Amino acid sequence: MQKYSGIITALVTPFYKGEVDYESLKKVIKLQLESGVKGFVVNGTTGESPVLLQDEVKKIFCFVKSEIPKDAYLILGTGSNSTYIADQKIKQAISLGVKSVLVVCPYYNKPSQGGLVKHFQYLAKQNKKINILLYNVPTRTGVSLDINSLEALSVEENIIGIKEASGDINFAKQIIQKKLFSSILSGDDFSFKNFIEAGGDGIVGVATHILGKEFNKIFKNPTENKDWDTILPLLKALYAETNPMGIKKALSLMGIIKSAELRLPLVEAKEKEILKELKNLGKA
């Protein structure tokens, strides 16, 4: 069974004049590999999955795969609020040779716990050749898997893990203590330190784009407060506006991506506080 641990980044999708900027994406990947990041999620929230075309997703995945070592993690986001569209996306992922997919809870239509369980069970049973990681992010979806639902889903052999992004460390501790999955990953930068202290396996992060080394130090020694206190002001600045607005502005200010451009309805973040905290850390 595949196990994921350590620092994984939910990749941004750089744009320039409306098109995917592969030159900038190459630089983003290189920076993170050099900082010790173990792998990437393509087509997640941070990658602006709601506004990417399926052909773009395919091309981005193949590009990232060509740029990273064979032993680096590579996970593809395939979620939808339609069970059947999610199923189609997973089948396309299988055709691309994807080993693991990240599947978000259905958003907007707000299913019950029973509906959530059936959604993921259907996807698992229809696609037994691929590993599935659940993505629990209630601030985005309006629903949250509860512990009973997670216990029911943990019996599916190919549901191997969860990206727990509620930010509720007590809920995360329940999942960790019950050892429900082989890969229990944080999806919330702010609770990362506490998550690792509680025994979590790692993170699918956002600030890891530019703080890979720092997150790795905290992962190895989560009881040391100094490193965490040092980066916390930058984390707050990055999340002052909706992700990925902040991280794209930071990457642009650092000269890693050509533009902080996003696709509507998201617009560029204000730079004042981000630039200030980047300078405080010697990153701009």
Query: Does residue 195 lie in a domain region?
Result: yes
- Please report, for the domain that includes residue 183, its CATH number: 3.20.20.70
- Structure token digits, residue 198: 């509680």
Question: Is 37 within 8 Å of 208 (Cβ atoms)?
Answer: yes
pLDDT at residue 58 in the model: 97
Q: What angle do CA 239, 243, 248 make, to 5 degrees?
A: 95
CA gap 147, 59 in Å, rounded:
36
Provide the residue range defining the domain that includes 39. 6-221
pLDDT at residue 284 in the model: 87
Query: Does residue 35 lie in a domain region?
Result: yes
Indicate the SS3 state at residue 62.
helix
- Structure token digits, residue 13: 């999708």
Question: Is 1 within 8 Å of 160 (Cβ atoms)?
Answer: yes
CA gap 242, 265 in Å, rounded:
11
Q: Which residue's structure tokens are 């995945």?
A: 61
CA gap 265, 176 in Å, rounded:
36
Residues in the chain predicted with pLDDT less than 50, given as ranges, are none
pLDDT at residue 79 in the model: 95
pLDDT at residue 99 in the model: 96
pLDDT at residue 26 in the model: 98
For 159, the enclosing helix (H) or strand (E) is strand 159-164
Query: Does residue 77 lie in a domain region?
Result: yes
pLDDT tens track for 59-111:
999 999 999 999 999 999 999 999 999 999 999 999 999 999 999 999 999 99
Query: Does residue 256 lie in a domain region?
Result: no
Give how many domains the chain has, as a whole number.
Answer: 1
pLDDT at residue 280 in the model: 97
Query: Does residue 64 lie in a domain region?
Result: yes
Query: Does residue 148 lie in a domain region?
Result: yes
- CA nearest neighbour of 32 among 206, 276, 200, 201: 206
Bridge partners, 204 (sequence order): 8
CA gap 98, 61 in Å, rounded:
9
pLDDT at residue 224 in the model: 87
CA gap 109, 105 in Å, rounded:
10
Catalytically active residues are 135, 163
For residues 186-196, b (16+ Cβ closer than 10 Å) or e, as one string? bbbbebbbbbb
Q: What is the DSSP string of 103-152?
A: EEPP-SS---HHHHHHHHHHHHHH-TTSEEEEEE-HHHHS----HHHHHH
Query: Does residue 282 lie in a domain region?
Result: no
Query: Does residue 90 lie in a domain region?
Result: yes
CA gap 204, 189 in Å, rounded:
8
